[in-house]
């Protein structure tokens, strides 16, 4: 028996034979040709055919209910219309190169450009361009790639897998996936997550002689066993069976309340990046959206999205999920998320730089475009607006002033608008420590524990080298979370958590004990989290230890929690009745 390590993407156990997935390697001639027009025609025919293939993959994924993965192929089809990419290939053919040579060089250069970008998201897009290059070459060489997967159920082992290769796989024959390359941000990883296949990437030791061997992929332990012994087979078969039973049981939790044994309710919401995630929110029975990272609307666009384009995206999500509350965070560009068309200066410390609400408050037109789109969309569902990276009260006040300005403009234009809850991210130590003051300005807080941890511990969240020092349960962070919840409740401001820590099962009981009102997590974590919540019994904790949850007027909360009478009285004295009244009355 041999054991090889990798990086896990999706937890699970796969048991069966290995099938090596080996796409064809093409010999491309460097010789020049004289019939340039013929090469241009071949290129164009291949481009149209690959575009048709991508559109067909889009339709197939939509039909199978995978709107998120369908979006990848829609983007691929659009990439094949890119003038820069097409022109760079045409220039090479005009010099006398073959269509194959032009595709290889042109597409490789585009992939290299993505690879050299600072942003991890865009770096991962280079794999999409390489995927398209391979599809173009398959067509130009007339290759038959239909049967690379074999005909028996197997653990597929590959150098890397492109999205179009992954999606073409026959799912009924796929037990699990192992690749030598790949990144956790790649589309293949996204696909693997959305399909829930046990997956290991960066398994550097894969070799051709694994082909056909019996193996167990144990991604819980980030490894694959080649020719395991009987003891391991029995043990991991039992674990696989347990997984199946647990998964089936989790499905039974759909429609059940997210409530502890002693009747304490918490709202379990989903984190999403755009309309493509609506399906997954519904499938996993999320009770609302606690974080719609609106910057993805910007990142997915080549140019600054117009008010109408944004309106269409927000409206689609609000309509698709009504009457659930959908909290849309205003654009959080900067730091690790950069966009060319924003023309932002390079900074020495981007995470401490011009980011999120700092950009919005300095670029009013840009900010107003988004706020107007949000206000217009509010007529179609139940909207919450959340401002990121807040450190001071005046920033919240200024955000609300701009919002009010937009509201007046839209009212004068006769546009319909709905009621809105207003909130802020608590993701800086400054905001957590000033939570009492900030709570007077808003309806809700959402703790962004990813940034809160990075800024509290001075640990760059992007750095792999700091892994040893990064403690996601650092007592300073946990204390700020607890104190923020308590401060919010003193002012009748409900408090959620939308950072990754919200899905950490080892903290669920503490968060509930501290009185958290909402946990917003990756849609796939909703049912496991509901399961956790339903196992908690808070009655064993002393009453004094457990701050009472706040009474909210949250429109999406079907069963508002009972307030502590003192907390309610304090609100009435402290806070003008209904922020909405002040903003939109
Ligand atoms: C956070 O910082 O915890 C958060 C949810 O926001 P993001 O990860 O998008 O920065
Ligand atoms: Mg953040």
Question: How is the chain split into domains, by residue range?
Answer: 2-23+148-241, 36-145, 264-584
Mean pLDDT of the 309-317 span = 96
| CATH match for 36-145 among 3.40.50.300, 1.10.3470.10, 3.40.50.450, 1.10.274.10 | 1.10.274.10
Judge whether 182 and 123 are in contact, CB under 8 Å.
Answer: no
- Percentage of the chain with pLDDT > 90? 64
Task: Give the number of other Cβ atoms within 10 Å of residue 87's Cβ.
Answer: 12
Top-level CATH class of 264-584?
alpha beta
Q: Kindly state the helix (H) or strand (E) to which residue 439 belongs, with its residue range.
A: helix 435-439
pTM score, whole prediction: 0.66
Q: Calculate ∠ Cα 268-271-276, nearest 5°.
A: 120
Q: Indicate the range of 1-10, 262-271, 397-406, 426-435 predicted with least confidence.
A: 1-10
Give the Å distance between the CA of 402 and the centre of ligand 2. 22
Query: What gap in Å lies between CA 518 and CA 536, rounded to an integer?
Result: 15
Judge whether 140 and 176 are in contact, CB under 8 Å.
Answer: no
- List the residue whose alpha carbon is closest to atom 9 of ligand 1: 293
Three-state secondary structure call for residue 328: strand
Give the Å distance between the CA of 335 and the centre of ligand 2. 10
Query: What gap in Å lies between CA 309 and CA 296, rounded to an integer?
Result: 13
> In a mutational test of the pocket of ligand 1, which residue from 119, 293, 330, 389 has the highest number of ligand atoms less than 8 Å from its CB?
293
Atom of ligand 1 nearest to the CA of 335: 10
Beta strand residue intervals within 162-230, DSSP E: 174-179, 199-201, 214-218, 223-226
The residues that are catalytic are: 187, 498
From the CB of 185, is ligand 1 less than 6 Å away? no
Task: Give the number of other Cβ atoms within 10 Å of residue 435's Cβ.
Answer: 24
Distances (CA, A) of 330 to 301, 356, 359, 403: 16, 8, 11, 11
From the CB of 498, is ligand 1 less than 6 Å away? yes
pLDDT digits (tens, 9 = 90+) for 66-88: 776 788 888 889 999 999 999 99
Mean pLDDT of the 507-520 span = 97
- List the residue whose alpha carbon is closest to atom 6 of ligand 1: 448
Indicate whether 175 pLDDT > 90.
yes
Q: Kindly state the helix (H) or strand (E) to which residue 84 belongs, with its residue range.
A: helix 83-94
From the CB of 449, is ligand 1 less than 6 Å away? yes
Number of H helices, E strands in the chain: 23, 16
pLDDT digits (tens, 9 = 90+) for 331-365: 998 877 778 888 888 888 988 999 999 999 999 99
> In a mutational test of the pocket of ligand 1, which residue from 429, 431, 451, 459 has the highest number of ligand atoms less than 8 Å from its CB?
451
Query: Two tokens at 470?
Result: 């990064």
Query: What gap in Å lies between CA 585 and CA 583, rounded to an integer?
Result: 6
Give the Å distance between the CA of 368 and the centre of ligand 2. 21
Nearest ligand to the C-alpha of residue 453?
1
Atom of ligand 1 nearest to the CA of 448: 3
- List the residue whose alpha carbon is closest to atom 4 of ligand 1: 448
pLDDT digits (tens, 9 = 90+) for 123-163: 778 888 988 998 999 999 988 776 788 889 999 999 888 77
For tokens 């599809």, what's the residue?
Answer: 135
Q: pLDDT grade, residue 23 (50/70/90)?
A: confident
Nearest ligand to the C-alpha of residue 331?
1
Indicate whether 121 pLDDT > 80.
no
> In a mutational test of the pocket of ligand 1, which residue from 296, 350, 391, 450 has the highest number of ligand atoms less than 8 Å from its CB?
450
Where helices occur in 266-362 by DSSP H, the ranges are 278-283, 295-299, 307-321, 357-362
Closest-CA residue to 93 (of 40, 46, 141, 42): 40
From the CB of 448, is ligand 1 less than 6 Å away? yes
Query: Two tokens at 88?
Result: 């760079």
Atom of ligand 1 nearest to the CA of 295: 9
What topology is assigned to 2-23+148-241 in CATH?
Answer: Glucose Oxidase; domain 1 (3.50.30)
Query: What gap in Å lies between CA 521 and CA 448, rounded to an integer?
Result: 11
Query: Two tokens at 278?
Result: 């609506």
Q: pLDDT grade, residue 216 (50/70/90)?
A: very high
> In a mutational test of the pocket of ligand 1, which residue from 425, 453, 472 has the highest number of ligand atoms less than 8 Å from its CB?
425
Q: pLDDT grade, residue 190 (50/70/90)?
A: low
Distances (CA, A) of 274 to 68, 122, 185, 313, 343: 9, 17, 17, 7, 24
pLDDT at 549 (0 to 100): 53
- List the residue whose alpha carbon is closest to atom 8 of ligand 1: 450
Give the Å distance between the CA of 229 and the centre of ligand 2. 46
* CA 446 to chain CA mean position, Å: 17
Q: pLDDT grade, residue 467 (50/70/90)?
A: low
Judge whether 181 and 21 are in contact, CB under 8 Å.
Answer: no
From the CB of 427, is ligand 1 less than 6 Å away? yes
Average pLDDT value over all residues in the chain: 87
Q: pLDDT grade, residue 542 (50/70/90)?
A: low
Helix, strand and coil percent figures for the chain, each rounded to 5: 50, 15, 35
Give the Å distance between the CA of 352 and the centre of ligand 1. 14
From the CB of 450, is ligand 1 less than 6 Å away? yes
Query: What gap in Å lies between CA 193 and CA 184, rounded to an integer?
Result: 10
Give the Å distance between the CA of 63 and the centre of ligand 1. 32
Query: What gap in Å lies between CA 431 and CA 386, rounded to an integer?
Result: 14
pLDDT at 557 (0 to 100): 42
């Amino acid at each position: 028996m041999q054991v090889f390590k990798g990086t896990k993407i999706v937890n699970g156990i796969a048991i069966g034979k290995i099938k090596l997935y080996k796409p064809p390697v093409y010999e491309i001639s460097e010789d020049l040709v004289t019939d340039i027009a013929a090469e241009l025609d071949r290129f164009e025919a291949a481009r149209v055919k690959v575009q048709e293939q991508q559109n067909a993959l889009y339709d197939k994924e939509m039909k199978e209910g995978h709107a998120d993965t369908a979006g990848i192929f829609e983007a691929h089809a659009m990439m094949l219309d890119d003038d820069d990419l097409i022109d760079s290939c045409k220039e090479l053919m005009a010099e006398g190169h073959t269509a194959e040579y032009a595709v290889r060089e042109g597409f490789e250069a585009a992939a290299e450009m993505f690879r050299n970008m600072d942003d991890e998201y865009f770096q991962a897009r280079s794999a999409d361009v390489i995927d398209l290059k391979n599809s173009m070459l398959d067509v130009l060489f007339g290759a038959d790639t239909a049967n690379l997967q074999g005909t028996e159920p197997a653990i597929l082992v590959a150098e890397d897998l492109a999205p179009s290769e992954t999606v073409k796989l026959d799912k009924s024959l796929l037990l699990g996936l192992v690749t030598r390359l790949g990144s956790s941000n790649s589309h293949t990883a996204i696909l693997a997550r959305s399909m829930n296949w046990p997956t290991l990437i960066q398994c550097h030791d894969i070799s051709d002689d694994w082909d056909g061997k019996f193996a167990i992929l144990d991604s819980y332990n980030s490894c694959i066993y080649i020719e395991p012994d009987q003891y391991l087979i029995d043990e991991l078969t039992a674990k696989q069976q347990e997984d199946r039973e647990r998964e089936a049981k989790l499905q039974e939790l759909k429609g059940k309340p997210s409530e502890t044994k002693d009747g304490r309710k918490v709202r379990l919401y989903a984190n999403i990046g755009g309309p493509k995630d609506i399906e997954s929110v519904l499938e996993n029975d999320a009770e609302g959206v606690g974080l719609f990272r609106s910057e993805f609307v910007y990142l997915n666009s080549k140019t600054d999205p117009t008010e109408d384009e944004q309106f269409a995206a927000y409206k689609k999500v609000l309509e698709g999920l009504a009457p659930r509350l959908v909290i849309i965070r205003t654009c959080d560009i900067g730091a690790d998320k950069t966009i060319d068309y924003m023309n932002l200066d390079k900074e020495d410390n981007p995470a401490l730089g011009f980011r999120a609400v700092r950009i919005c408050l300095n670029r009013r037109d840009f900010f107003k475009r988004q706020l107007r789109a949000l206000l217009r969309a509010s007529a179609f569902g139940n909207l919450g607006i959340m401002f990121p990276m807040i450190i001071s009260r005046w920033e919240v006040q200024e955000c609300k002033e701009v919002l009010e300005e937009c509201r007046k403009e839209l009212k004068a234009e006769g546009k319909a608008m709905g009621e809105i809850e207003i909130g802020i991210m608590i993701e800086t130590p400054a905001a957590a420590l000033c939570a009492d003051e900030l709570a007077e300005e808003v309806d809700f807080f959402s703790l962004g524990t990813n940034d809160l941890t990075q800024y509290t511990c001075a640990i760059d969240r992007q750095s792999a080298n700091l892994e040893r020092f990064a403690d996601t349960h650092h007592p300073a962070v946990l204390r700020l979370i607890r104190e923020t919840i308590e401060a919010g409740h003193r002012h009748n401001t409900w408090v959620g958590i939308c950072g990754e820590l919200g899905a950490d099962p080892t903290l669920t009981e503490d968060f509930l004990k501290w009185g958290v009102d909402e946990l917003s997590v990756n849609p796939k974590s909703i049912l496991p989290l509901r399961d956790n919540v339903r196992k908690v019994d808070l009655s064993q904790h002393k009453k004094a230890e457990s701050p009472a949850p706040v009474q909210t007027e949250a429109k999406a909360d079907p069963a508002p929690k009972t307030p502590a009478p003192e907390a309610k009285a304090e609100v009435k004295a402290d806070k003008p009745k209904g922020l909405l009244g002040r903003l939109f009355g």
